[in-house]
Amino acid sequence: MSGIPRKSRVVGVIASENDLEAVLGETGKLIDLCELRIDILEPCSARLRDLATTLSIPKVVAVRDPVEGGLNQLSEARRSELFEEWFGLSSYIDLELRNLVRFRSLAGRAETAGIQIIVSLHDFDKTPSLQELETALDKSRGDRQRIFKIACKVTRWDDVKVLSEILEKHPETPIAVMGMGPLGKLSRILFAGLGSELAYVSVGNSVASGQWPADKFRLLLSELERR
């Protein structure tokens, strides 16, 4: 990667009412954005929407597909309803690569409204090959610049190298990379140093293997930024 890697922005994952209240308090000072996991919040999402309006930091709205780790077994129709309900609060919308065609109307309206799209790819079993990631990156592109997000299981150093290489080969493309599993925590610090566009952290209980708590990650990130 030529030059100085971009500075990672820290995303706090909100998966409960307690998480939301924490981000409204001191924890909110540790993150740059928050991700609202609406698939997890769905049973009480209507009640929490008013509370979420008081959040001053940019909000990523994610209604995760059950195939890629979403909870509560939400149907495509229900996920679409929830995206519409939270549309007005969105600064970013996270759509799985597999669902881009199905939600292309939503993506188009969002980008027209100035809402950025995060195109995500999750693999809980392995790290895809570099060729597979390059193909996925090409499929993620739209008329406007989007963030390509990769979250996958890393069990050996070769997995970390593959994910590092996709960052290094595309220094001008906003790519967010995060590892899950045995080398997840180690890899997330490395990827932040290499210029991953986004770094996801927990503000309460972790919702993904490898996530750092917000305070610990921010401390480690500050050490990297002293270089």
Mean pLDDT by 10 residues, the chain (227 residues): 74 96 95 97 89 95 96 96 96 98 96 97 97 98 94 97 96 96 95 96 91 95 77
> How many other β-carbons are positioned within 10 Å of the β-carbon of residue 198?
23
Count, residues in the chain? 227
pLDDT at 1: 45
Fold of the 9-224 domain: TIM Barrel (3.20.20)
Identify the helix (H) or strand (E) that includes residue 28. none
Indicate the residue type of 162. Answer: V
The torsion angles phi and psi of 97, rounded to 5 degrees, stand at: -55, -40
- SS3 state of residue 54: coil
How far from each other are the two terminal CA atoms of the chain, in whole angstroms?
16
- SS3 state of residue 152: strand
Picking from 106, 127, 128, 131, the residue whose alpha carbon sits closest to that of residue 119 is 106
Q: Is 149 designated active site?
A: yes
| Alpha-helical segments (H) within the chain | 17-24, 38-41, 45-52, 76-86, 104-112, 130-140, 157-169, 184-194, 214-224
Q: Is 216 designated active site?
A: no
Question: Partners of 62 in the beta sheet?
Answer: 37, 94
> How many other β-carbons are positioned within 10 Å of the β-carbon of residue 147?
19
Picking from 81, 80, 84, 91, the residue whose alpha carbon sits closest to that of residue 117 is 91
Q: Is the dihedral of CA 159, 161, 164, 168 positive or negative?
A: negative
* Measured distance CA(96)–CA(62) in Å, rounded: 9
Q: Which of 7, 29, 139, 149 is catalytic?
A: 149
* Measured distance CA(79)–CA(88) in Å, rounded: 15
- SS3 state of residue 103: coil
pLDDT at 205: 87
Q: Which of 7, 29, 59, 122 is catalytic?
A: 122
